[in-house]
Amino acid sequence: MTIEHDFYTELTQHRRAIDAIDDKLIALLNERCEYVAQVGRLKSKYQLQGSYIRPAREAMMVRALLDKSQGAFPRASIAAIWRIIIGSSTAIESPLSTLTFADDAEGNHVAAQYFGPEVPHQSAPSEQEFFQQLEKNPHCIAIVPYVLDASWWQLMPDPMRVFACLPFVGARPSHLALGHIEAEPTGEDMSLFYDYETRTVFEQRGFHCVEQPLIPPQKHALFIGAYALPCAL
pLDDT tens digits, residue range 5-41? 889 999 999 999 999 999 999 999 999 999 988 988 8
| One domain, residues 61 and 14 | no
Contact 62, 82 (CB under 8 A): yes
- Span 137-144, average pLDDT: 90
Mean pLDDT of the region 134-153: 89
In this structure, the answer to whether residues 177 and 141 fall within a common structural domain is yes
Q: Which of 32, 48, 64 marks a domain boundary? A: 48
Are 44 and 144 within one domain?
no
Residue 64 within a domain: yes
Mean pLDDT of 126-141: 87
Task: Judge if 146 and 191 occupy the same domain.
Answer: yes
Same domain for 108 and 61: yes
Q: Which of 18-32, 88-102, 126-140, 193-207 has maximum average pLDDT?
A: 18-32
**233 domain-assigned:** no
Q: Which domain holds residue 194?
A: 50-228
Distance separating alpha carbons of residues 28 and 18, to the nearest angstrom: 15
Model confidence pLDDT, tens digit, residues 160-217: 899 999 998 877 899 999 998 888 899 999 999 988 888 889 999 999 876 555 555 5
- Integer Cα distance of 150 and 156 in angstroms: 11
If one counts the domains in the chain, the total is 2
Arithmetic mean of pLDDT over the chain: 87
d(CA 111, CA 97): 10
In-domain check, residue 220: yes
Considering the domain architecture, whether residues 59 and 4 belong to the same structural domain is answered as no
What pLDDT does residue 188 have? 94
Query: Within this chain, do residues 106 and 193 fall inside the same structural domain, yes or no?
Result: yes
One domain for residues 56 and 148: yes
The predicted structure's pLDDT at residue 222: 85
Residues 6+ away with beta carbon under 8 Å from 9: none
**Mean local confidence (pLDDT), 79-86:** 91
Tell me the pTM: 0.86
pLDDT of residue 210: 61
Residue 23 is assigned to a structural domain of this protein? yes
Does residue 132 form part of some domain?
yes
pLDDT for the residue numbered 76: 87
For CA atoms 178, 179, 183, 184, give the dihedral sign: negative
Q: Predicted confidence band at 2 (pLDDT cuts at 50, 70, 90)?
A: confident
Q: What is the mean pLDDT of residues 105-118?
A: 91
Q: Domain check: are 58 and 173 in the same one?
A: yes
Q: Is there a single domain that holds both residue 44 and residue 64?
A: no
The pLDDT of residue 166 = 94
- Residue 227 pLDDT grade (very low, low, confident, very high; cuts 50, 70, 90): very high
Residue 215 CA, chain-centre distance (Å), reads: 27
Per-residue pLDDT reduced to its tens digit, 36-82 = 889 888 877 877 666 678 899 999 999 999 999 888 999 889 998 99
Reply yes or no on whether the pLDDT at 134 is more than 70. Answer: yes
8 Å CB contact between 143 and 110: yes
CB atoms within 10 A of CB 185: 16
79 and 32 both lie in a single domain: no
Q: Is residue 72 part of a domain?
A: yes
Give yes or no for a contact between 115 and 98, defined as CB atoms under 8 angstroms apart. yes
Residues 83 and 160 in one domain: yes
List the Cα angle 55/122/102 in 5-degree steps. Answer: 105
Summarize the confidence of residues 101-127 as an average pLDDT.
91
Beta strands in the chain (DSSP E): 97-101, 121-124, 140-145, 161-166, 175-179, 189-195, 200-205, 221-228
